[in-house]
Amino acid sequence: MTLSNKHILIGITGGIAAYKICELIRKFKKSNADVKIVCTPNSLNFVTKLTLQNLSQNEVFVQEFDVKNWKPEHISIADWADIFLIAPASANTISKIANGISDNLLTSIACAFSKKMIIAPAMNFNMWNNEAIQKNLNRLRCRGAEILEPESGFLACGYTGKGRLCGVNKIFDSVIEALKYSSVLQGQKVIVTAGGTIEEIDPVRYISNYSSGKMGLAIANSAYNMGAEVVLITTKDCDVPYKTIKVKSALDMQKVLNEEFNNANLVVMAAAVADYRVKNYSEQKIKKSNEETLTIELVKNPDILTELCKHKVNQIVVGFCAESENLFENAKIKLEKKGCDFLVANDISRQDIGFNSDENEVIIFSKEGNVQKFDKAPKKIIAREILEWINTK
């Protein structure tokens, strides 16, 4: 991807890994990006201002009140940047940004920054595992920041553990991926369902499935990055910067969907909804008896996707199907039967994709007969490709 006309702001904090950012700047410049650097004063103990200026071919910003014109630098720089990458991010700077402390130029820019922020921490492994640091990282995730977790290995402090700055190529690729998102869903309400529903048998037992909810979460994150107002209806716990409603059963999910559906523009049904529920839930734990078998009567759950499609007006509805055989044929039948606008099919018989995997490979079908395959890739990439393809149809 060429980065022509892309404005990348890199924040460097005080840490030995600061020297690695020199190579990262070179990679961005080779891709024709316009790069500006903002440093904390302590970062200059590890890399010089002159080096960073020569590599970025721009002035390097350090002091908060070194204003050359009437524009406050922390605002003008924030407005200029398309993305803000902080690498390496120290425990100190992470904690300041998470708690709204703006006592230097970098943290002031972070406080004023309203676009995509990527943070790549680097620190001693005991600092990384500190409860306060982890809470601050979760705060930043909830506000939409992407955290590139450090790697494990030998650390500059002499210890071995998790804390090394992740690879320069990983940081570069993450920035590239983030810059690919357009604002095509700006002003639209997108509902996404995720996870496997839980159908209770008694207070301690239930029926469910292996769905991790990762694909639905990736779609919700992608829709949010594309400017949508997102509502994620999920059976899983997650920290995200948009509206999340946690449900348990198929009936719970249907109830919430009915409440949110009318003013939605796009609905993506990525959840694995149980086909059946227990007919007679036991208020007390079912005791083991002397019988060799136990019979539990099940009744059909409502077909949520079909019911939504019956009542849609202007909404676009996307279904998902997990198939273990005859994927192409079964998906086409299901698309017609359900009445949705698109159906995304994936092969759950493969061990390298699907349930619990971070990668997927899917085929998407439209009611007009269009078919598109997305080859194996991380789910966040598959999610973006699905939304972009749907938007062009």
For residue 345, the domain's CATH number is 3.40.50.10300
Q: What is the mean pLDDT of residues 352-359?
A: 81
Kindly report, residue by residue over 8-44, the tens digit of the pLDDT.
Answer: 999 999 999 999 999 999 999 999 999 999 999 999 9
**Domain identity same for 140 and 217:** no
On whether residue 2 sits in a domain, the answer given is: no
Residue 352 has what pLDDT?
A: 80
Domain-located, residue 206: yes
Domain residue limits at 233: 189-392
pLDDT at 391: 87
Whether 359 is in a domain gets the answer yes
Note whether 46 and 145 are same-domain residues.
yes
pLDDT tens, residue by residue, 232-286: 999 999 888 899 999 999 999 999 999 999 999 999 999 999 999 999 999 999 9
Q: Work out the average pLDDT over 170-186.
A: 89
Which phi and psi angles does 244 have, rounded to 5°?
-130, 135
- pLDDT of 113 over the 60 cut: yes
Regarding whether 233 and 173 lie in a shared domain, the answer is no
pLDDT, residue 71, reads 60
SS3 of the chain: the string is CCCCCCEEEEEECCCHHHHHHHHHHHHHHHCCCEEEEEECHHHHHCCCHHHHHHHHCCCEECCCCCCCCCCCHHHHHHHHCCEEEEEEECHHHHHHHHCCCCCCHHHHHHHHCCCEEEEEECCCHHHHCCHHHHHHHHHHHHCCCEECCCEEEECCCCCEEEEECCCHHHHHHHHHHHHCCCCCCCCCEEEEEECECCEEEECCEEECCCCCCHHHHHHHHHHHHCCCEEEEEECCCCCCCCEEEECCCHHHHHHHHHHHHCCCCEEEECCECCCEEECCCCCCCCCCCCCCCCCCCEEECCCHHHHHHHHCCCCEEEEEEEECCCHHHHHHHHHHHHCCCEEEEEECCCCCCCCCCCEEEEEEEECCCCEEEEEEEEHHHHHHHHHHHHHHC
Same-domain check for residues 151 and 208:
no
157 belongs to the catalytic site = yes
Residue 88 shares a structural domain with residue 171:
yes
Nearest C-alpha neighbor of 278 from the set 292, 294, 256: 294
Q: Do 22 and 130 reside in the same domain of the chain?
A: yes
Q: Which of 157, 238, 321, 340 is catalytic?
A: 157
Phi, psi at 190, each rounded to 5° = -120, 125
Of 151, 179, 207, which marks where a domain is finished? 179
- Residue 261 domain-assigned (yes or no): yes
| Same domain membership, residue 239 and residue 130 | no
Q: Over range 196-207, report the average pLDDT.
A: 96
Q: Which residues, at least 6 apart from 244, have a Cβ–Cβ distance to it below 8 Å?
A: 231, 232, 233, 234, 238
Q: Are residues 158 and 261 in the same domain?
A: no
Residues 217 and 171 in one domain: no
* 31 within some domain: yes
Average pLDDT over residues 296-316: 95
**Which of 139, 156, 179 is where one domain is finished?**
179
**Residue 227: inside a domain:** yes
Predicted confidence band of residue 295 (pLDDT cuts 50, 70, 90): very high
Q: How confident is the model at residue 344 (pLDDT cuts 50, 70, 90)?
A: very high
Mean pLDDT to the nearest integer, 144-164: 87
Whether 184 is in a domain gets the answer no
Reply yes or no on whether the pLDDT at 70 is more than 60: no
Q: What percent of the chain has pLDDT over 90?
A: 76
What's the confidence (pLDDT) of residue 72?
A: 64
Number of structural domains in the chain: 2
- Residues 33, 136 within the same domain: yes
Domain end marker among 130, 161, 179: 179
Q: In sequence order, what are the residues at sequence separation of 6 or more whose Cβ sits closer than 8 angstroms to the Cβ of residue 68? A: none
Q: Which residues contact 329 (CB under 8 A, 6 or more apart)?
A: none
Q: Are residues 122 and 218 in the same domain?
A: no
361, with CB counted inside 10 A (0-12, 13-18, 19+), is: middle
Average pLDDT over residues 343-364: 86
255 shares its domain with 342: yes
pLDDT for residue 69 is more than 70? no
